Chains A and B, each alone.
Chain A
Amino acid sequence: MSYSKMSLAKPVMRGLLGKRLRFHLPIAFALSLMAAAAFKFGVTEPRKRAYADFYKNYDATKEFNNMREAGIFESVRPTGK
């Protein structure tokens, strides 16, 4: 025994994947759920509300007549002609 102890601690050899999963999976699930919730309440709900409000008092005939007067249709010309 002519050498002195100059070694490092033995590194962790097992359970590396399990440790990584235990750490990262809850975070991944939490972030995904947060992203989904943010999209739902930031985008889809306002959009659904916008459509509901638009069609609540929508008069199709009035809109059609306005468009007709603007002259964009080819089948019906404005009432003046």
Chain B
Amino acid sequence: MYFRFITSLMLLLFAASAKRVEDFFLYIFFSFRMLATRALSLVSKRVISTSICVRGGHGVAKVDDYALPSYFDRRENPLPDVRFVTDLSPVQKSLKEKEKGSWATLSNDEKIALYRISFKKSFAEMNKGSNEWKSVVAGMLFFIGVTGLVVLWQRKFVYGPVPPTFETEWKEKELQRMLDMRINPVEGISAKWDYENKEWKK
């Protein structure tokens, strides 16, 4: 029990190092997949959904679809745990039977059909870029604009007056005091003031 707690904690720490959000969930997902398949390794994957594992003298709950391994197209996981098409049509079933024989007898179209049974997108299709980024940037700019309107409204209707220290006369006195104190005399503000002629240096 402690072992399970420690392994899940280490998994979480490792997953926290993921650079992409999808990778974070992938690490979590893979670990559970490994734990589940190791636990049911005696039963073949195809039979998981219908078998009844008797453990400890009790029956077991029906395994729901969402609890089984799912199919996904990822460059990093080229061979997913399940086939894409789970319910084969009669044509596909007969093709699968033919696959058990010599592959030399398969035509090119049949090979492609078998590929499409097991996989949804090819690598070229899944790696292809899209124009989604334009919508994302457009949405970002739109909401930044809305935020700007909100800020303007706030300035007019929510905030009270600004302190007296922002008035021009006050600021002038502040600056004069800073120059008197020789603030930043080497490279900063007092270095730019000409003390002889009482004006800014040219």
Q: A residues engaging B (CB < 8 A)?
A: 1-4, 6, 47, 50-51, 54, 63, 66-67, 70-72
- Which B149-166 residues have C-beta < 8 A from chain A? none
Q: Do A50 and B186 contact each other (CB < 8 Å), given the known contacts A70-B180, A72-B181?
A: yes
Q: Tally of A-B residue pairs with Cβ under 8 A?
A: 29
A2 to chain B, nearest CB (A): 7
Assuming the contacts A67-B180, A70-B180, asked whether A50 and B104 have C-beta atoms less than 8 A apart, the reply is: no
10 pairs of A and B residues whose beta carbons are closest in the complex: A70-B180, A54-B186, A72-B180, A72-B181, A50-B187, A51-B186, A50-B186, A3-B108, A67-B180, A67-B182
Number of residues on chain B facing chain A (CB within 8 A): 14
For residue A66, which residue of chain B has the nearest CB? B195
With contacts A50-B187, A54-B186 taken as known, whether A67 is within 8 angstroms of B105 at the C-beta atoms is no
Query: Are B186 and A72 in contact, CB atoms less than 8 angstroms apart?
Result: no
Query: In this complex, what residue of A is CB-closest to B176?
Result: A70
* In the complex, chain A residues whose CB is within 8 Å of the CB of B108: 3-4, 6
B residues less than 8 Å from A4 (CB atoms): 108
Query: What is the CA–CA distance of A72 and B183 in the complex, to the nearest angstrom?
Result: 12
- Give CA–CA (A1, B105) in the complex, Å: 8
Q: How far is the CA of A41 from the CA of B195 in the complex (A)?
A: 30
Question: How distant is the Cα of A15 from the Cα of B14 in the complex, in angstroms?
Answer: 27
CA distance A2 to B191 in the complex (A): 87
Query: Closest Cβ of chain B: how far from A10's Cβ, in Å?
Result: 14
**Which residues of chain A are near B185, meaning CB under 8 Å?**
54
